[in-house]
Structures are given as structure tokens and as C-alpha cells.
């Protein structure tokens, strides 16, 4: 599917779906639990549905609404508990790196072989860090294609008790997987991280484990993690909070257009690192109000901003540059890079080498596709810099240096790339349009993204 984005004005209220990170953790822990759990407002995305198909392989029973892609539903999980077992088939994770990295350590706690694979994208993502960690736990772990470092992944458990795993920690997901797997191990699992990144997600896992009756400890520098096992996980009834990773897209769309929107039911629980994007954008002059009483976010861009101009700028910062360390919330790189094209000055998005190991090499892809639209982009091994211009000068008149234009761009089947480029197209000048190829991949994390955005005036259309 090819989506066309043109200049528009957004207005009204939008509610983004539940958090993917919370939903997948909830499904896995509910599957390990004794009793029946209720997961309300889950994210019915492709990754979460892949998880719903995977957990029955270890003995859980899951009931979805008849329309499994409907938002605002309740999923019921009858936990496997004491009857949990080795996956009774190959685990196909689809496109979900979270499911791959979370569930493979859990599978290593069983006596026998487990096989993990996925779609073409997953079969290119690295698993060497997983095999190394599982071997330290006493499991056998290999890739089907010798020295490939990618899926299919073969694992033979069980793991040993009372282990200490030493690993880098640049990717947080397999660390979270080991933390969940520790609930099935005897004694305390100790994890020593030399270079912890994406730390808000480790905190999220810790909070989930604690809510299920598990003792978990993380040092202030996130280099030392301990989880006590074994533990009988308690079933639960929970509401999945909204996804800050998804909030970023209507947020940036409003800021680069003459728009005023309100994002309802945002998560103020502090477990999603991506909420930090609000402070980043406000440092550039963004007009954003967070209402803690009704958990909403109001965003005003362009002529709808309080000053009637809505100019985003780094000119007041040293050397006209904003430096943002994104190691804690690297999934925000796509949205932040897109909105930075509309910022007067340079935005350096740093400490993001992990982004080269996501659905795509996001650093390389963003440089390639943003340059097609006329952006000036600098790429480093662990950073991307956007040398941008605001569409308007300080007095609100048109900026002659603003040179973004329309073009056809490729999503590379990366959901965050697709949504970022589509939103960028909404801020271009009259007569310009962005065509995003393979835009249907948005369903991985935001089902019905284009429909939801069109309800507030985005005007996205399908190319014929």
C-alpha cells in the first residue's frame, strides 16, 4: 500500500492504542501465571498478535475478541502455571523482536529443544547476544546457519540455577527476557551489564515482575540486576496504558502544521521512556501542555501556537545545536528525526547505535529517505544529525531557506519509518506531497494509524 500525505490542518481529539511493550510483557507473564488473567486495552498489533499465537505453544490458553484487531477490547489468558511446558512447535515470532528476545530465555528453562524463527526481517536481526547469554546460563544455543548470527535460533535447556550472566546490554529486550525467565529458575539470577541502554524498558520489566509477586532489584546505574526465583506468578487484571511511542506521531504532525489537537488517555505512570520526547520538543519551543488531571496532551503548532507562529528553533542553544541522548528511548529516533527537519538549527540525535539493529538500520534509512525530501542529514556510527530550517522566520513570514519538498520514499517495511515519513508530508508546502511505499507495515505497532489520523484531519489517501 502506498500512502499520500499533503499539507493539512489537524484538529480534535485522538486516542492512541495501548502500549506494545506493556502488552507483550502482560501476555507472557499471564501465560506463566496460575489462574486466569484479564488484559484490557491491549495493543492489537501484528507483534502482539504474534505473541498471542506463540504463548499457547507453552500451555497457555488465550481468548481474543472476535475482531482481534479491534482496539479497546479485553484479552483473557488462562495461564499454564505448573503445567507450562516446552514449546510444542516451532515458535514463529513474525516481525516481533520483542517476542523473540523475551520468549527465547523462557524457552531455555525447559528440558529439550526449542526453535525460533520469523519473517525475513527477523531473520536478519542479530541473536549472538542471546546465544552468548543463554550459554552462560548453561543452555545450548545455536543459529541454524552456522556463524550467521541470525534466526532460526535453536535452544536446548534446561539452564542452571544461581547463575551470573555478564553481557553488554545495548539491547534491553533479551535482558528483560532473562528477568522473566528467572521466575522459573532456582535461586537468584544475577545479570551484570557493561553498557546498559534502553534502561526505561528494564525498569518496566521490573515493575511488571513486582506486580506479579517477584523480587527484582536493579542498581541505580542499571549495571547490576537480580531476580529471585522460583516464583509462582499471580494472575492479574490489568489495563494496558497508552503507547508513548505511538503518541509521538500525532504529536510531531501537529507541531509542523497549523494545528491544535489533544491526545487523550496518555500514560503518566513513568514506565515508558519515550515520554521524554515532550521535554525534548519543548526545549525547541514546542507548544505542548500536559494535563495530569485528565491524562491528556494538548499540542499546538504553527499559527495555532500561543504565539501565533509556532516556530521550532535551536538558535537559543549553544552553537544553535540541540544534542539529545536517545539511549533510553531509541525508538523515538524516527519521529524526532522527522520533526527536526522543521527546526531552525541542528539537532544531533546521539547514542543510537542500537538503531542499526532494529527492523531496519534506522540511521542509514532515515538519512536516505529524508535526503530524498530535501533534508540535510549527517550520519555517524551512533548518531544522526539533522541540519534543518523552520518554514517561518521569527516574525512568522516564510523562510526562504526552508527547502523540504515532496518525493516518493520507502518505508523499508519499518512501521516507525513509515509513520514518521507520512507525518512529515503533512507539514510540506502547498502542492507538495510525500508518497510512502509499503505503508501498511504501520499495523505492527499502530493498527488503523491512517484511519485514526484521518479522523483529526490528516487527509491521508491511498495512491491508485
H or E element, residue 195? none
What mean pLDDT comes out for the span 214-223? 97
Candidates 445, 423, 443; CA nearest to 434 is 423
What mean pLDDT comes out for the span 317-326? 95
What mean pLDDT comes out for the span 55-68? 89
Is residue 331 part of the annotated active site? The answer reads yes
Question: Domain extents for the chain?
Answer: 3-17+242-462, 20-239
- Predicted confidence band of residue 16 (pLDDT cuts 50, 70, 90): confident
Query: Cα–Cα distance between 59 and 51 in angstroms, integer?
Result: 13
Q: What pLDDT score does 146 carry?
A: 84
Q: What pLDDT score does 207 carry?
A: 95
pLDDT digits (tens, 9 = 90+) for 17-42: 888 999 999 999 999 999 999 999 89
What mean pLDDT comes out for the span 355-375? 95
Q: Is the N-terminal amide bond of 230 cis, ω within 30° of 0?
A: yes
- Tell me the torsion sign for CA atoms 151, 155, 161, 166: negative
Q: What pLDDT score does 68 carry?
A: 62
Name the more confident of 69 and 190. Answer: 190
Q: What pLDDT score does 363 carry?
A: 97
> Which of 214-228, 269-283, 323-337, 414-428 shows the lowest per-residue confidence on average (mean pLDDT)?
269-283
- On the question of pLDDT at 15 being above 90, the answer is no
What mean pLDDT comes out for the span 431-453? 93
As a 3-state breakdown, the chain gives helix, strand, coil percent values, each rounded to 5, of 35, 25, 40
- Which residue among the candidates 258, 274, 331, 414 is catalytic per the annotation? 331
- On the question of pLDDT at 69 being above 70, the answer is no
Candidates 173, 179, 164, 227; CA nearest to 196 is 173
Do 3-17+242-462 and 20-239 have matching folds?
A: yes
Q: By the 8 A CB rule, do 84 and 58 touch? A: yes
Q: What pLDDT score does 307 carry?
A: 96
Which class is domain 3-17+242-462?
Answer: alpha beta
Q: What pLDDT score does 167 carry?
A: 97
Q: What pLDDT score does 131 carry?
A: 97
Q: What is the pTM of this model?
A: 0.81
Fold exhibited by the domain 20-239: UDP-n-acetylglucosamine1-carboxyvinyl-transferase; Chain (3.65.10)
Q: What pLDDT score does 270 carry?
A: 67
- On the question of pLDDT at 71 being above 90, the answer is no
Catalogue the E-assigned strands of 301-371. Answer: 312-313, 321-325, 343-350
| Mean pLDDT computed over every residue of the chain | 94
What mean pLDDT comes out for the span 273-302? 91
Amino acid at each position: 500500500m502506498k500512502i499520500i500525505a499533503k499539507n493539512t490542518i489537524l484538529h480534535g481529539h485522538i486516542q492512541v492504542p495501548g502500549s506494545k511493550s506493556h502488552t507483550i510483557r502482560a501476555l507472557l507473564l499471564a501465560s506463566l501465571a496460575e489462574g486466569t488473567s484479564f488484559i484490557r486495552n491491549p495493543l492489537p498489533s501484528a507483534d502482539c498478535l504474534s505473541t498471542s499465537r506463540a504463548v499457547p505453544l507453552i500451555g497457555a490458553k488465550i481468548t481474543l475478541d472476535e475482531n482481534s484487531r479491534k482496539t479497546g477490547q479485553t484479552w483473557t489468558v488462562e495461564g499454564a502455571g505448573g503445567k507450562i511446558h516446552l514449546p510444542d512447535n516451532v515458535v514463529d515470532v513474525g516481525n516481533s523482536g520483542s517476542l523473540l528476545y523475551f520468549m527465547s530465555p523462557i524457552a531455555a528453562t525447559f528440558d529439550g529443544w526449542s526453535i525460533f524463527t520469523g519473517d525475513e526481517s527477523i531473520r536478519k536481526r542479530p541473536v549472538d547476544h542471546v546465544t552468548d547469554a543463554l550459554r552462560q546460563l548453561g543452555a545450548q544455543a545455536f543459529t541454524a546457519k552456522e556463524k550467521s548470527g541470525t534466526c532460526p535460533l535453536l535452544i536446548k535447556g534446561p539452564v542452571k540455577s544461581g547463575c551470573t550472566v555478564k553481557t553488554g546490554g545495548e539491547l534491553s529486550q533479551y535482558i528483560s527476557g532473562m528477568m522473566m525467565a528467572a521466575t522459573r529458575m532456582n535461586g537468584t539470577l544475577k545479570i551484570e551489564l557493561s553498557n546498559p541502554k534502553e534502561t526505561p524498558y528494564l525498569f518496566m520489566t521490573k515493575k511488571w515482575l513486582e506486580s506479579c509477586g517477584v523480587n527484582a532489584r536493579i542498581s541505580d546505574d542499571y549495571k547490576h540486576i537480580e531476580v529471585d526465583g522460583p516464583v509462582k506468578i499471580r494472575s492479574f487484571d490489568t489495563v494496558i496504558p497508552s503507547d508513548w511511542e505511538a503518541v509521538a506521531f500525532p504529536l510531531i504532525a501537529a507541531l509542523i502544521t497549523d494545528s491544535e489537537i489533544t491526545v487523550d488517555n496518555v500514560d503518566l505512570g513513568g514506565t515508558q521512556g519515550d515520554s521524554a520526547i515532550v521535554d525534548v520538543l519543548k526545549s525547541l519551543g514546542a507548544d505542548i501542555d500536559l494535563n495530569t488531571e485528565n491524562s491528556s496532551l494538548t499540542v499546538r503548532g504553527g499559527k495555532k501556537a500561543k504565539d501565533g507562529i509556532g516556530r521550532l528553533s535551536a538558535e537559543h542553544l549553544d552553537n544553535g545545536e540541540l544534542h539529545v541522548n536517545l539511549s533510553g528511548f531509541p525508538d523515538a529516533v524516527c519521529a524526532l528525526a522527522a520533526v527536526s527537519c522543521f527546526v531552525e538549527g541542528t539537532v544531533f540525535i546521539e547514542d543510537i547505535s542500537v538503531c542499526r539493529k532494529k527492523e531496519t538500520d534506522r540511521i542509514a534509512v532515515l538519512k536516505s529517505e529524508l535526503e530524498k525530501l530535501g533534508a540535510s542529514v549527517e550520519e555517524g556510527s551512533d548518531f544522526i544529525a539533522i541540519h534543518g530550517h523552520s518554514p517561518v522566520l521569527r516574525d512568522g513570514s516564510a523562510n526562504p531557506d526552508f527547502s523540504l519538498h515532496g518525493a516518493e520514499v520507502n518505508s523499508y517495511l519499518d512501521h516507525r519509518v513509515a509513520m514518521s515519513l507520512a507525518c512529515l508530508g503533512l507539514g510540506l508546502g502547498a502542492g507538495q506531497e510525500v508518497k510512502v511505499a509499503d505503508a501498511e507495515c504501520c499495523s505492527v505497532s499502530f493498527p488503523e494509524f491512517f484511519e485514526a489520523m484521518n479522523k483529526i484531519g490528516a487527509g491521508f489517501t491511498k495512491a491508485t
